[in-house]
């Protein structure tokens, strides 16, 4: 048997999640076509351009220690440092600085660095700065989990999916870290956005002597989407059916029942819409038919698609809430503080816009305060594409309270009904008379003269959800997002080189609060998906990392960037601020699958292991060892 990584444990298993729906034995007995396939994915480095950095200052601002740094989750960092120092939380202050990327990576590793810096600062009585080199960053930080996945699917000859069995194993490395939660998302989404009566899914995490794995953009979904969407294309080929036709026969619609037994009846299930728009813009049908015909020369083209549904925010794995403070100064300027961190996605801009919209003022009035754990409201981690959804609602709630306060003051002053007042374009008007009553500045001045302090705390808790760990049934997420990406590639069969020519990305965002920021998220996510699909791979040997710099660990550059066409589909969500939902991670999780399907069409050969690098395309296999290189598996 495998050597125990932790001698106090009975085995190397970190976690096992189960999902059971219907009866797969009966389902496969009814199936006319059965397909079984295995897929693997690799270790992936976060590759943020700015490495980890913190500065610890002792005895500053009445705190035992103040830490400045590139911190993704300041409150988690505070909790960790206080635990190490064995002091109360209010003795540790974390101030987030501008970040040069994170993608889930600057959490536990930054907390460890901050704790070390804090100990040194208190021992020396001097400020301490710690900065990782690139090699130190790659060696110390956790990675995206590599997965081994076995899929079995049964269908009718007409293409109706009847049964699916899935077994997925994640390499947790030496520590558990986020493995229980990453594999939980995988078990929820492993069947993809397809309505299947009979499902049996098991996801596992195992300790190994490899580098440990944790949170990375996508969080357990890119791996299973690569497998499940490759499987759907392979089944379509077996049925002599187009991949598009097979998907349309089985996708979720309004009131569909998911693998976990959740009825999708509280939001618009827009899979058909995102698929339709992606197909139209990419010209998928025509190009798929064209590339299926014989192509001359070594360079062959292919086009592939992939679709997904993704649960928004943290899900049933933990409490899900956020807080915000909005304060109007006596000169009419506004301060905002929220406990969710700006990690480069434009959160400060979006939350500022939400406050401005609710109060009917221009955004230039508003100053968004950097996170400071001594004054900002704790709001949970900045992960799971939850910041606009949760933080936006918290800011909106706080701003709405202030609007109600001002409305009551104005109503009393002018003898009108408060609920008739409209806040818009820097003025407050009577909606029945379409007549300006008072300017925003005058309203604030009126409140100030009456001794009323205009500050409000907004809190938003996500709707209640549920999960049965034994059966894998329940309501794991309160709402979902849907996406479709189409990749067009050209493969040189003589060299194995893949050129991604174009990617069309259609995503239902609920409502686009800031279209420019949203497009930026799509561009960035698509490029990360491209890197995951065709080039990125952290190589290990007996637990040691071999490629510790960007000269050996390859990431996409501007030269690799294809033509990217973002398509924003808007179906306002009842739970989101002004209908907005999530976008940060959905844009990343589809790329590798769509590219793999396109490469399969171009080469007429299916590659079931990521990345689709030169040797796999040219030789059909990797010269190195398998994906999980641990001695203990």
DSSP state letters, 295-333: --SSEEEEEEEEEEEEE-SSGGGS--EEEEEEEE-TTS-
Nearest to 155 by CA among 272, 227, 237, 260: 237
pLDDT for the residue 118: 98
CB 213 within 8 A of CB 143: yes
pLDDT band at 625 (very low <50, low <70, confident <90, very high): very low
The whole-angstrom separation of Cα 147 and Cα 159 is: 28
**For the chain, how many residues are written?**
633
Separation CA 332–CA 458 (nearest Å): 19
Bridge partners (DSSP) listed for residue 57: 66
Q: What is the pLDDT of residues 119-176, one digit of tens each?
A: 999 999 999 999 999 999 999 999 999 999 999 999 999 999 999 999 999 999 999 9
585 is catalytic: yes
From the list 165, 229, 342, 585, the catalytic residue is 585
Q: Give the C-alpha separation, 121 to 313, whole Å.
A: 36
Tell me which DSSP letter residue 4 carries: P
Q: Is residue 105 very low, low, confident or very high in pLDDT (cuts 50, 70, 90)?
A: very high
State the pLDDT at residue 624: 59
Question: For residue 86, what are the contacts with CB-CB under 8 A and spacing of at least 6?
Answer: none
CA distance 484 to 587: 9
pLDDT at 516 over 70: yes
Show the tokens assigned to 413: 């002053």
Strands 480-492 and 299-311, by their bridges, are antiparallel
Question: What average pLDDT does the chain have?
Answer: 95
Does pLDDT of 117 surpass 50? yes
Calpha distance 204→398 (Å, rounded): 42
Report how far residue 356's alpha carbon sits from residue 557's, in angstroms, rounded to the nearest whole number. Answer: 37
| Contact yes or no for 274/484 (Cβ under 8 A) | yes
| CB-based burial label for 449 (10 Å; 0-12, 13-18, 19+) | exposed
The span from the CA of 101 to the CA of 565, in Å, is 23
The answer on pLDDT for 631 being more than 70 is no
For the chain, state the CA radius of gyration: 26
- According to DSSP, the residues that pair with 309 across neighbouring strands are 482
Mean pLDDT is lowest, of 133-147, 424-438, 474-488, 553-567, for: 424-438
In this prediction the pTM is: 0.95
The residue among 432 and 597 whose pLDDT is bigger is 597
pLDDT at 42 over 60: yes
Q: What span, in angstroms and rounded, lies between the C-alpha atoms of 604 and 607? A: 10
Interval 412-424 mean pLDDT: 95
Q: Give the pLDDT band of residue 622 (cuts 50, 70, 90).
A: low
Distance CA 536, CA 305 (A): 21
563-569 vs 498-508, strand pairing mode: parallel
CA distance 324 to 460: 9
Q: Tell me the per-residue pLDDT of 223-273, one tens digit each, with 9 for 90 and over.
A: 999 999 999 999 999 999 999 999 999 999 999 999 999 999 999 999 999
pLDDT at 627: 40
Classify residue 578 by its DSSP letter: G
Which residue segments constitute the domains of the chain, with CATH numbers given?
13-44+143-314+470-619 (3.30.365.10), 53-140 (3.30.365.10), 321-461 (3.30.365.10)
* Dist. CA 308–CA 229, nearest whole Å: 9
Instruction: Show the tokens assigned to 481.
Output: 């997002």
The Cα 430–Cα 622 span in angstroms is 70
Question: For residue 87, which of 107, 108, 65, 113 has the smallest C-alpha distance?
Answer: 65
- Bridging pattern class, strands 53-58 and 33-40: unpaired
Q: With DSSP H G I counted as helix, E B as strand and the rest as coil, what are the percentages for the chain, rounded to 5?
A: 35, 25, 40
Residue 629 has pLDDT above 80, yes or no: no
- Res 96: pLDDT: 93
Q: Report residue 123 as tokens.
A: 């021992």
Mean pLDDT of 261-289: 98
The pLDDT, as a whole number, for residue 623 is: 64
Which residues face 68 on adjacent strands?
Answer: 55, 95
**For residue 308, pLDDT beyond 50:** yes
Asked if the model's pLDDT at residue 433 lies above 90, the reply is no
pLDDT per residue over 45-57, tens digit each? 999 999 999 999 9
pLDDT greater at residue 624 or residue 487: 487
Angle (CA) 297-298-302 rounded to 5° is 100
pLDDT, average across residues 193-201: 99
Reported as a pLDDT band with limits 50, 70 and 90, residue 632 is: very low
What are the b/e assignments for 534-555, b being 16+ CB within 10 Å?
A: bbbbbbbeeeebebbeeeebbb
Q: Distance between CA 345 and CA 4 in Å, rounded? A: 41
């Amino acid at each position: 048997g495998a050597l125990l990584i932790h001698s106090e444990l009975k085995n190397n298993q970190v976690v096992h999640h189960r999902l059971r729906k219907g009866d797969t034995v009966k389902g496969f007995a009814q199936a006319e076509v059965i397909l079984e396939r295995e897929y693997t994915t690799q270790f992936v480095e976060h590759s943020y351009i700015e490495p980890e950095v913190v500065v610890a200052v002792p005895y500053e601002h009445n705190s035992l220690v103040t830490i400045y740094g590139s911190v993704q989750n300041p409150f988690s960092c505070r909790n960790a440092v206080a635990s190490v120092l064995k002091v109360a939380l209010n003795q540790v202050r974390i101030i987030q600085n501008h970040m040069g990327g994170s993608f889930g990576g600057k959490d536990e590793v930054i907390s460890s660095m901050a704790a070390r810096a804090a100990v040194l600062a208190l021992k020396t009585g001097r400020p301490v700065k710690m900065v990782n080199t690139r090699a130190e960053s790659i060696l110390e930080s956790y990675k995206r989990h590599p997965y081994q996945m076995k899929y079995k699917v049964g269908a009718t000859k007409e293409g109706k999916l009847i049964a699916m069995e899935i077994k997925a194993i994640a390499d947790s490395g030496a520590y558990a870290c986020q493995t229980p939660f990453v594999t939980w998302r995988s078990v929820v989404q492993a069947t993809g956005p397809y309505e299947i009566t009979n499902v049996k899914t098991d996801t596992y995490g195992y300790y190994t002597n490899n580098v440990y794995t944790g949170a990375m953009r996508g969080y357990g979904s890119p791996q299973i989407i690569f497998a499940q969407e490759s499987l759907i294309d392979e089944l379509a080929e077996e049925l002599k059916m187009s991949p598009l036709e097979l998907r349309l026969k089985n996708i979720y619609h309004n009131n569909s029942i998911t693998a976990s037994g959740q009825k999708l009846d509280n939001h618009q299930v827009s899979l058909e819409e995102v698929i339709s728009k992606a197909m139209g813009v990419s010209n998928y049908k025509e190009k798929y038919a064209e590339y299926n015909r014989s192509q001359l020369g070594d360079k062959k083209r292919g086009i592939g698609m992939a679709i997904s549904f993704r649960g928004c925010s943290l899900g049933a794995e933990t409490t899900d809430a956020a807080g915000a403070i909005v304060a109007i100064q006596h000169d009419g300027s506004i301060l905002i503080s929220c406990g969710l961190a700006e990690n480069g996605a434009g959160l400060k801009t979006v939350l500022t816009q939400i406050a401005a919209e609710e109060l009917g003022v221009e955004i230039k009035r508003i100053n968004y305060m950097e996170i400071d754990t001594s004054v900002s409201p704790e709001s949970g981690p900045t992960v799971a594409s939850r910041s606009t959804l949760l933080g936006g609602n918290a800011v909106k709630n706080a701003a709405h309270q202030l609007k109600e306060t001002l409305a009551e003051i104005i109503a009393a002053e002018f003898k009108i009904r408060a609920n008739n007042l409209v806040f818009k374009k820097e003025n407050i008007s009577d909606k029945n008379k379409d007549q300006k009553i008072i300017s925003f500045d005058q309203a604030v001045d009126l409140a100030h003269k009456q001794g009323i302090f205009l500050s409000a705390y907004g809190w938003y808790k996500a709707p209640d959800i549920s999960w049965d760990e034994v059966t894998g049934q329940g309501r794991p997420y309160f709402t979902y997002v849907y996406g479709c990406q189409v990749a067009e590639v050209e493969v040189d069969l003589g060299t194995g080189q893949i050129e991604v020519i174009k990617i069309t990305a259609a995503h239902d965002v609920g409502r686009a609060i800031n279209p420019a920021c949203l497009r930026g998220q799509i561009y960035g996510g698509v490029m990360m998906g491209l890197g995951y699909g065709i080039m990125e791979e952290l190589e290990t040997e007996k637990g040691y990392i071999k490629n510790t710099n960007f000269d050996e660990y390859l990431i996409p550059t501007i030269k690799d960037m294809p033509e990217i066409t973002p398509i924003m589909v808007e179906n306002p969500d009842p739970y989101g601020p002004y209908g907005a939902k999530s976008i940060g991670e959905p844009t990343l999780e589809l790329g590798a699958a769509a590219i793999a399907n396109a490469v399969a069409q171009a080469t007429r050969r299916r590659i079931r292991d990521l990345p689709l690098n030169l040797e796999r395309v040219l030789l059909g296999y990797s010269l190195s060892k398998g994906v999980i290189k641990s001695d203990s598996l």
